[in-house]
Amino acid sequence: MAARSRLLLARSFAAALRSATRPGAPSMGERFSALPRLLRAVRSGQYGGMTTGRLAMMAAAAAYIVSPVDLMPEGFLAVFGLADDAMVLSWLAATVLTETESFLAWEKQATPVPGAVAFAPASYGPR
């Protein structure tokens, strides 16, 4: 079962990486600069493409990666101790890539184009 979940995680990460590096995709700089806007939009309820639960899971994963507390300590288990960190990191990276891609597409669709003429009702003009 663990090998199957690792395989699914690797496939998910590979698909997200392919999506992120395709021509015309947002750059990593755009994605990282979109993270604060994504957080604000999810917390305020403006962006419905991501739940606060998923946002909390991403925060917990980031905290786990930087935390000195570890479920499988590297000191005792050597390389195998890095496996849990690698799995959490790859899940977090794939999630950030897919969520920022969706958010940037939503933001582009929701933001009016500068200089575009807004729709005017049929009753415009002098009477």
pLDDT in tens, 61-80: 999 888 877 666 666 666 66
What is the number of H-type helices and E-type strands within the chain?
5, 0
Give residue 56's pLDDT band: very low, low, confident or very high (50, 70, 90). Answer: very high
CA–CA separation, 55 vs 38, rounded Å?
10
Domain contains 89: yes
Residue 39 lies in a domain: no
What is the predicted pLDDT for the residue at 84?
Answer: 77
Measured distance CA(67)–CA(64) in Å, rounded: 5
| Burial of residue 63, with CB atoms counted within 10 A of its CB: 0-12 exposed, 13-18 middle, 19 or more buried | exposed
- Number of structural domains the chain divides into: 1
Contact yes or no for 88/61 (Cβ under 8 A): yes
Q: Please indicate whether residue 1 or residue 22 has the higher confidence score (pLDDT).
A: 22
pTM, two decimal places: 0.67
Note down the domain range covering 95.
51-102
What the block records as the tokens of 76 is 């005792």
